[in-house]
């Protein structure tokens, strides 16, 4: 191994230069090659009691796969990972490892944690490039399960159930499978044609059928799936696609988007490609309101479509909910952060288009229920940003279509489906749920963890 390994420091990962990548939609992070991956894997302490596994929502045998990477047995490493995760190439790219497995890594007590996410990505990419598929082992059970939604929760639940031998059909409302992986996360973080499609194909190879353009609650209902189509159980992984707005004056103007709509137009409808005719108002001066990962995705997409972009967020940088890596990349690319700033009104021209936004400066007061310090307005600090586009990225809630058309399915005050955390069981017998439809907008890996727990719950229910 010619790479000199400093056990206290991660092997750096190659990336596109900021000035170059800010003008294209190709992947920012280029990942490890074999030599780099083996060098990074050699930093693992192979703990007897691996805390990293406890920090992983899908409980991957992390030391087990890393040991195989270090030895150069990438195929064996993939076999280990695919026992636990249906979407390793996705997780290796978009999971917040720094607050999960890597946060628990013992190596990180002295020095930097092992790059678990980048190693997982390396293994999954190697498997795709070498046409290695996950194994199907279980005998077929004579039971049918319907999965609603083909996002991370649905794909994980379906993949696990298929491995257990169930006959699984996914019903997807849109014309393409993948849920948030296809419409929400931009190409430069998660390539669709290579990574997302091949992960979906792997789930189909396990025997899972996917029917697109089926809107549950309109095309058919959950009750009909059970009573007329003979499904023995149903998993709801329909996500949270209903955007939230601030309720300030001018929010209905032309040029105001939800981050959901903006990203869907770009990612699913390919508005960023010149040979597609889906329109998107690129904007020359764009403000994105919010500070989460979705806000960073929308801002970095607008930048690549040619705009000057401001992130407007009412707290300080320390409270930004986005991953540190996303904020770092956004800054490198030239996105302007207007922190401790809150919008008051969107200004509209005589033709009904956005022309600016009145904002007020904020300061941090006492902590609120979330534990973060509550932002308070600074009197007399109003100012105006000149803009032509505003993107609201304030979170999402589940669409009430499924809950309103399913008798006996209870929801909470946030319109989220009530389900047990340990097995996904809802208030309706044989119906399970997980992911953003239950928690509201959260991370890909937490949705996968919920899909996994529900698959186990459904198996226990149907085995009885």
Read off the pLDDT of residues 161-206 as tens digits, 9 standing for 90 and up.
Answer: 999 999 999 999 999 999 999 999 999 999 998 999 999 999 999 9
Strand order in the sheet with 285-289: 256-258, 389-392, 285-289, 308-312, 336-338
CATH of residue 19's domain is 1.10.1060.10
Q: Supply the mean pLDDT for the chain.
A: 94
Q: What is the mean pLDDT of residues 304-312?
A: 95
Beta-strand ranges (E) seen in 415-457 are: 431-433
Q: List beta partners, residue 453.
A: none
Segments forming the whole domain that contains residue 162:
144-241+398-463
Read off the DSSP letter of residue 348: E
Is 135 within a domain? Answer: no
Q: Cα 285–291–292 angle (5° rounding)?
A: 120
Q: Assess whether 255 and 384 both reside in one domain.
A: yes
Q: Assess whether 278 and 153 both reside in one domain.
A: no
Q: Assess whether 438 and 309 both reside in one domain.
A: no
pTM, full prediction: 0.93
Q: Assess whether 419 and 450 both reside in one domain.
A: yes
26 three-state secondary structure: coil
Q: Which pLDDT belongs to residue 278? A: 67
| CB atoms closer than 10 angstroms to residue 456 | 17
Residue that is last in its domain, among 351, 378, 395 = 395
How many domains is the chain built from?
A: 3
Confidence at 76, pLDDT banded by 50, 70, 90: very high
Is 196 within a domain? Answer: yes
Tens of pLDDT, residues 116-132: 999 999 999 999 999 99
In sequence order, which ranges of 185-323 are alpha helices (DSSP H)? 197-205, 222-227, 259-267, 293-304
């Amino acid at each position: 191994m010619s790479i000199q390994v400093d056990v206290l420091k991660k092997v750096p990962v190659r990336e596109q230069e900021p000035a170059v990548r800010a003008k294209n939609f190709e992947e920012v992070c280029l990942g490890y090659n074999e030599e780099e991956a083996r060098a990074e894997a050699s930093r693992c302490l192979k703990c007897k009691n691996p805390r990293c596994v406890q920090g992983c929502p899908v409980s991957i045998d992390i030391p087990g796969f890393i040991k195989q990477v270090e030895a150069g047995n990438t195929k064996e490493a993939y076999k280990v990972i695919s026992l636990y995760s249906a979407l390793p190439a996705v997780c290796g790219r978009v999971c917040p490892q720094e607050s999960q497995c890597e946060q628990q890594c013992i190596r990180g007590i002295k020095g930097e944690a092992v790059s678990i996410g980048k190693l997982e990505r390396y293994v999954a990419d190697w498997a795709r490039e070498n046409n290695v598929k996950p194994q199907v082992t279980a005998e077929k059970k004579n039971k049918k399960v319907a999965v609603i939604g083909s996002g991370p929760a649905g794909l994980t639940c379906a993949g696990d159930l298929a491995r257990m031998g169930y006959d699984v059909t996914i019903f997807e409302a849109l014309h393409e499978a993948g849920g948030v992986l296809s419409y929400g996360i931009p190409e430069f973080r998660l390539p669709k044609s290579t990574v997302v499609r091949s992960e979906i194909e792997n789930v189909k190879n396990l025997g899972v059928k996917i029917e697109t353009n089926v809107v549950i609650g309109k095309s058919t209902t959950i009750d009909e799936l059970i009573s007329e189509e003979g499904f023995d159980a149903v998993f709801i992984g329909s996500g949270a696609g209903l955007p939230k707005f601030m309720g300030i004056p001018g929010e209905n103007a032309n040029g105001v988007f939800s981050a959901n709509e903006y990203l869907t137009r770009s990612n699913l409808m390919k508005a960023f490609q010149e040979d597609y005719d889906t329109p998107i108002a690129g904007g020359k001066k764009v403000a994105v309101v919010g500070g989460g990962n979705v806000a960073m995705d929308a801002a970095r997409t607008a930048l690549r479509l040619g705009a000057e972009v401001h992130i407007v967020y009412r707290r300080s940088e320390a409270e930004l909910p986005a991953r540190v890596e996303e904020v770092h990349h956004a800054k490198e690319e030239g996105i302007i952060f207007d922190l401790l700033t809150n919008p008051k009104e969107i200004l509209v021209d005589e033709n009904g288009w956005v022309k600016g936004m009145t904002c007020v400066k904020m300061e941090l007061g006492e902590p609120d229920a979330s534990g973060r310090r509550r932002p308070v307005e600074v009197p007399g600090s109003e100012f105006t940003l000149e803009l032509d586009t505003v993107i609201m990225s304030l979170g999402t809630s589940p669409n009430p279509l499924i809950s309103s058309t399913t008798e006996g399915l209870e929801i909470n005050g946030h319109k989220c489906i009530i389900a047990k955390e340990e097995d996904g069981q809802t208030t309706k017998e044989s119906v399970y749920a997980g992911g953003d439809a239950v928690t509201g907008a959260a991370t890909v890996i937490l949705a996968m963890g919920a899909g996994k727990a529900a698959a186990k719950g459904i198996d226990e229910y149907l085995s009885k």
